[in-house]
Amino acid sequence: MERNPDSHKGENGIVAIVGGSATMHGAPLFSALAAEASGVDLVHVMLPRCHADAAKAMSLNFQVRLFAGDELAAQDTEAVLECLASVDCAVLGPGIAHGNAASIRALEAIIEGAACPLVLDAAALQPTTLSLVQGKTAVLTPHLGELERMEVRPELIGEVATQNNVTLFLKGPTDRLALPDDEILSIKGGNAGLTVGGTGDALAGLIAGLIGQGMPPGKACLLAGELMKKAAEELFADLWFAYRTQDVIARIPHLLCRTFDTHHV
């Protein structure tokens, strides 16, 4: 992941995060913080109007864009798609209310209309998702429950990834990464502290940040998964299982620095 020393603002990755609902502000912000920690130049955070102050306080670098109300709705799709037209990768879904049918329909319309590479998580993982991402560059990051909601059996993730030309990251104690070329990789390590809320959102943001800087989706998923598990191992030594997602995100730049210094990626 080389960087041109003469590059300018925006040339080293622009990522957008679309998520949140009236009762869920943390999920999209975890994704945004992880994308920022990956080293991207700009992060656009699109979330409910009621969480504007929380988003602005989380980072001075965030470009905060607000939904018209406190839930994603049809009237937001045009503004979201306009933003996505100018970014290098977007995370869709963290914190969107699963039970809000109008929000899910709006999210599906955004997935269908988006032209940039996508990382789809949480509410963006629906039975319709695979049909909506046809012809797109897409990474799907389900846990077992979300995979079931997509109506995909765990033993078929390789077949599904190949048939739909997507990268499928199945989260678990051992992550399984299914690539479009029919290859399945395992990512081991970490510990049970990663069950704390928000780590999946951070993983999605980190993947998007790496893709936004030019890394191929499969390589971005593999590196992000390894970094999350390594961060958990290092944090456990000092904090036992009491570390938070914020602590995991704070380790990302240090781990990236060590990774790229060692391997000259």
Average pLDDT, the chain: 95
Which residue type sits at 69? G
Q: What is the domain partition of the chain in residue ranges?
A: 14-263
Alpha carbon distance 130, 91 (integer Å): 16
Rounded Cα distance between 141 and 41, Å, is: 24
17 touches 37 (CB < 8 A) = no
Q: What is the CATH number of domain 14-263?
A: 3.40.1190.20
Residue with tokens 């290098």: 88
Closest CA relative to residue 74, chosen from 25, 125, 110, 118: 110
DSSP alpha helix (H) spans, 90-170: 101-113, 129-132, 144-149, 157-164
Please, which residues bridge with residue 64 across strands? 45
Write out pLDDT tens, residues 100-114.
Answer: 999 999 999 999 999
Give which of 118, 102, 108, 42 is closest to 68, Cα–Cα: 102
Strand order in the sheet with 118-120: 62-66, 42-47, 14-18, 89-92, 118-120, 138-140, 167-170, 175-178, 184-187
Using CA atoms in the order 205, 156, 145, 133, what is the torsion angle rounded to 10 degrees? 50
The 10 Å Cβ neighbour count of residue 183 is 12
Task: Encode 169-226 in three state secondary structure.
Answer: EECCCCEEEECCCCCEEEECCCCHHHHCCCHHHHHHHHHHHHHHCCCCHHHHHHHHHH
The reported pTM is 0.96
Q: Give residue 154's region: left, alpha or beta (phi > 0; psi -120 to 50).
A: alpha
Q: How much is the pLDDT for 262? A: 52
* Structure confidence by residue, pLDDT tens digits, 191-215: 999 999 999 999 999 999 999 999 9
* Low-confidence residues of the chain: pLDDT under 50: 263-265
Q: Which pLDDT value is given to residue 263? A: 45
pLDDT score recorded for residue 95: 97
